[in-house]
Structure 1
Amino acid sequence: MRKGLSLKWVISGSLLLVIAMVLIIYNQLLPAYTEHGLRYTDSEAMEEEAQLFARHYQQDPTTPPPDNDFVKSALSKEALPKNIRDLLETTPSMAFGAVQYFGDVDSYDDYAGTVVLIHPLYDGKTLYMYDTRHDYEKDGEVETPLSDAYLEHELSMVSLISLAVFIPALIIIALLAWWVVRPLGRLTQWSASLESASAPADQRPHFIFREFNLLADSLNHSVQQVKAASLREERLLRYASHELRTSLAVLKANVELLAVQAGGELPPPLQRIERSVLNMQRIAETLLWMSRESPEALPEEAFDMRQLLNELIQEHRYLIGKRKIELILHISDEPCRLPLTACRIVVGNFLRNALQYSDDGSFQITFDQLQLRIVNRIRTPQKHQESADFGYGLGLVLMRQLCAKLGWHIEVVSEKNRFTVILKLSAQTPQQLPDATDT
């Protein structure tokens, strides 16, 4: 079962989160702007009262200043009560519109300070107007049922508007996600069906959206190319399995015939041909085994690693030539039960490359607890050399793939004048083949 996030839920959840954040911000800003509205009402009412008084005062200087249950006034600072005069000597807590607030103004509902309006008159006098809310609130809260009912009605309307925005948005998001993601689900199901070799890659679904059709066409074209390449590879392997092994068998038979005619021992050129034919035969069989999609396990055999290494050293001793190489062997006598052909190919490949590119000096081969170590001295690479892999390049890639199939582990250590290959052998536990780029 494939695990992961569903695009439908990601889109729906993201849009709902955006709407929820908008509603939260809206609900947070609503009380603040409501409080601003109430302060604006204070400012507007007192300023309007002051303007009306100034108009009447200009017509009739005997007009008394406003004095009612909400505000009181005076035409000079000396006529104000002492507590108001003291407040005017201090810095106001906040100025809003035409009025000034004295006292704690953190919350309008809990505010019990004083609101003062200062308005100059035409004759040079100044009208001082201040609210008396803090006075009558001492005698108890005044009930305003009609106003409270209106406010509750408006707040309930705000809640209804929020729900009216959220629920339709939820429906629209669900429909949009279904409309957009449903074709993507069909595309996903169709692409998953292409994993089967017998699936008709040319019968793809058609979609409303152009982008999905382009993506489906591209995927369809890629799958057809892969299947065509797979068919070509199968034909190549089938031909190679027959033609290559037939040619190698003919070469091997003729080399053996020449050996009989030569009295049992071939001359050096024919010996090299015989070694090459044998090596090609083993590599061809192993590569054909590796190319199978689900290869069966190679047969394991009990053998002596010391004897195998001695045989491989004799087969590749000609690579030493005239160099002064001292072979140092430390081979344990522990029993081995491994795929003999694959083991011969891998170990022979490493041994051949090590002997071919080894410099004069010691050449160490150690085998203990199913771990083979080959250490050889190498010449210092020159700056003009394009590669310093000493022949291990492509061969090492193939050996890594073969060992990955067999569950073996390869470790390569390249030092200044020494090259070390460590091969850890174990029972067959096939793994996924690595890419050539991974090596």
Structure 2
Amino acid sequence: MRNRLSLKWVISGSFLFLIAVVLLIYSQLLPVYTVRGLLYTASAMMEEEAQYFVRHYKKDPTTPPPRNYFFEAVIGKEALPASVRQLLEAPPSMSFGAVQVFGDTDSDDDDAEIRAVLTQPLGDGKTLYMYDIDHDHEEGGEVETPLSDAYFDQVLQGVVFVSLAVFVPALIIIALLVWWLVRPLGRLAQWSSTLNNPDARAGERPDFSFKEFNTLADALAQSVEQVQAASQREGRLLRYTSHELRTPLAVLKANIELLTLQAGGVLPSSLQRIERSVLNMQLIAETLLWMSRERPEPLPEEDIDLSALVGELIDKHRYLIGNRDIELLVDIHSEPCQLPPTACRIVIGNFLRNALQYAEEGQVEISFNYPRLVIANHIREAKPREESSDYGYGLGLQLMRQLCAKLGWQIDVILEQQRFTVALEFTSLQGVGVPGGRG
């Protein structure tokens, strides 16, 4: 049994998933852009200091390179510390503005060495190198800034508070919005499940709060009424037709029996055709009457020798061959099968009649190996306008599809080049047994 998800949980879960994705992306991008902000600040400070030094250096070449707590500058690569010169031998891991960053910036190791270096030509063939200073390895470690840290913590707490002040109300609003939208939709779904009851349709339709939902409910109720009215008309037509046909068919059958007695038991060919047509009409009328029932009772089943049944049907429909050169290839096992005899006679007779009626000269193959019956015949090559898979069978096949659907049998129609095949699977839902025994 499939698990059916509620639309309310699907929508609310989708919103929560979207919010979670946004927060995840935000949490991943925040450290990246924080580092970029710090690098931008360092680059701007170092570049501004370098430009200021170049201005004074041009006036006085003896001007000492700048130095402060955060960075230090030297003239010439030879004046750089050995650790910085070693870093410059490899390509930078990142270039940001005027600064080149060396070292593994993606490493989580706090002891990994990361240096920012600025290179500034002085115009006289010399180069100014400016690099940041790592105070962590000095005696006493890095200088603490408690006042600034306290201010930063305060600002960070404000950011967290503002984030929660936005996220929590937004979550509550989304939950209320989902509830407001899905609640009438759930009522609509619950009401639609009662439309098979005429009293529910006749009563006053509930108000679903939204114009679109009310319009959908009206259209749904109208569609159900139209479908059920059409189904009732179809059922009445089938019942009335079947009942009205049974009386004239009974009269015809009785008169044919009288004519048979008068003719000494052998009817002329014209009356034999009438007798066959009356029998076919009687079987069709009984089928329509059975199919018109809302809950048809299971047809009685008997042990049927399908080989004898097919042979009898072939003899009854052999007249359809006429003067055509048609060879019947019959391969049917003779073991009895537990099947409803009337339904088998109707369905198999219909397929056999159509196969003999529309077959071209050649072979008509009839084979049965429980539970599959196959009837194949050659046909004319279908023209482009004759693309229907019901070629040569028409309404009879559609009626047989409905009958087999009621019985739980399966029909497969295969249209190949100049070959029409109908396969019938006796996989009945009524408890059809295996050959030779009862299910």
Residues 35 and 2 of structure 1: CA distance in aligned 2, closer, same or farther (over 3 Å): closer
Structure 1 partner of 2:105: 106
Rounded Cα–Cα distance in structure 2 between residues aligned with 1:218 and 1:158: 51
Residues 244 and 393 of structure 1: CA distance in aligned 2, closer, same or farther (over 3 Å): same
Unmatched segments (≥5 aa) in structure 1: 432-439
In the TM superposition, what is the alpha-carbon distance from 1:188 to its structure 2 partner? 0.8
Residues 49 and 296 of structure 1: CA distance in aligned 2, closer, same or farther (over 3 Å): same
Matches within 5 A, 1:118-157: 133-134=133-134, 137-144=137-144, 145-157=146-158
In the TM superposition, what is the alpha-carbon distance from 1:223 to its structure 2 partner? 1.1
Aligned-partner SS, 1:4: coil
In the TM superposition, what is the alpha-carbon distance from 1:189 to its structure 2 partner? 0.7
Aligned-partner SS, 1:199: helix
Structure 1 partner of 2:22: 22
Give yes or no for the alignment of 1:199 onto 2:200: yes
> Could you tell me which amino acid in structure 1 is paired with residue 302 of structure 2?
E
In the TM superposition, what is the alpha-carbon distance from 1:392 to its structure 2 partner? 2.0
Structure 2 partner of 1:272: 273
Is the deviation greater in 162-171 or in 272-281?
A: 162-171
Aligned-partner SS, 1:271: helix
Residues 56 and 272 of structure 1: CA distance in aligned 2, closer, same or farther (over 3 Å): closer
Structure 1 partner of 2:243: 242
Rounded Cα–Cα distance in structure 2 between residues aligned with 1:410 and 1:362: 22
Deviation string, structure 1 residues 335-358 (Cα, Å, up to 9, x no partner): 233211111111211222222233
| Contact 2:304/2:336 (<8 A) preserved | yes
Residues 259 and 11 of structure 1: CA distance in aligned 2, closer, same or farther (over 3 Å): same
> Could you tell me which amino acid in structure 1 is paired with residue 204 of structure 2?
Q
Is the deviation greater in 135-144 or in 310-319?
A: 135-144
| Contact 1:194/1:200 (<8 A) preserved | yes
Aligned-partner SS, 2:138: helix
Structure 2 partner of 1:436: none
Is the deviation greater in 157-166 or in 48-57?
A: 48-57
Structure 1 partner of 2:32: 32
RMSD of equivalent CA atoms: 4.5
Residues 45 and 297 of structure 1: CA distance in aligned 2, closer, same or farther (over 3 Å): same
Rounded Cα–Cα distance in structure 2 between residues aligned with 1:118 and 1:379: 92
In the TM superposition, what is the alpha-carbon distance from 1:3 to its structure 2 partner? 3.2
Aligned-partner SS, 2:338: strand
Normalised by the length of structure 1, the TM-score is 0.76
In the TM superposition, what is the alpha-carbon distance from 1:301 to its structure 2 partner? 2.4
Deviation string, structure 1 residues 251-293 (Cα, Å, up to 9, x no partner): 3233334444555443333322222111111111112212333
Is the deviation greater in 303-312 or in 268-277?
A: 303-312
Aligned-partner SS, 1:205: coil
Deviation string, structure 1 residues 364-397 (Cα, Å, up to 9, x no partner): 5445545544454x35437588478663232223
| Contact 1:405/1:429 (<8 A) preserved | no
Rounded Cα–Cα distance in structure 1 between residues aligned with 2:337 and 2:101: 97
| Contact 1:353/1:390 (<8 A) preserved | no
Aligned-partner SS, 2:134: helix
| Contact 1:112/1:133 (<8 A) preserved | no
| Contact 1:359/1:379 (<8 A) preserved | yes
Residues 332 and 153 of structure 1: CA distance in aligned 2, closer, same or farther (over 3 Å): same
Deviation string, structure 1 residues 111-137 (Cα, Å, up to 9, x no partner): 66466696989xx9x997957733685
Deviation string, structure 1 residues 411-437 (Cα, Å, up to 9, x no partner): 445555655444444555389xxxxxx
Residues 344 and 151 of structure 1: CA distance in aligned 2, closer, same or farther (over 3 Å): same
> Could you tell me which amino acid in structure 2 is paired with residue 279 of structure 1?
N
Is the deviation greater in 38-47 or in 274-283?
A: 38-47
Rounded Cα–Cα distance in structure 2 between residues aligned with 1:197 and 1:135: 86
> Could you tell me which amino acid in structure 2 is paired with residue 20 of structure 1?
A
Unmatched segments (≥5 aa) in structure 2: 433-439
In the TM superposition, what is the alpha-carbon distance from 1:297 to its structure 2 partner? 0.7
Deviation string, structure 1 residues 146-183 (Cα, Å, up to 9, x no partner): 22333333333333333333222221111111011111
Rounded Cα–Cα distance in structure 1 between residues aligned with 2:238 and 2:193: 27
Residues 252 and 22 of structure 1: CA distance in aligned 2, closer, same or farther (over 3 Å): same
Aligned-partner SS, 1:134: coil
Structure 1 partner of 2:342: 341
Normalised by the length of structure 2, the TM-score is 0.76
> Could you tell me which amino acid in structure 2 is paired with residue 155 of structure 1?
L
In the TM superposition, what is the alpha-carbon distance from 1:306 to its structure 2 partner? 4.2
> Could you tell me which amino acid in structure 2 is paired with residue 296 of structure 1?
E
| Contact 1:303/1:340 (<8 A) preserved | yes
Aligned-partner SS, 1:234: helix
Give the length in aligned residue pairs: 424
| Contact 1:365/1:372 (<8 A) preserved | yes
In the TM superposition, what is the alpha-carbon distance from 1:54 to its structure 2 partner? 10
Residues 300 and 198 of structure 1: CA distance in aligned 2, closer, same or farther (over 3 Å): farther
Rounded Cα–Cα distance in structure 2 between residues aligned with 1:66 and 1:252: 124
Rounded Cα–Cα distance in structure 2 between residues aligned with 1:130 and 1:148: 27
Deviation string, structure 1 residues 46-98 (Cα, Å, up to 9, x no partner): 6777899999999x999998766556678xx48x99337996xx69957766x
Structure 1 partner of 2:6: 6
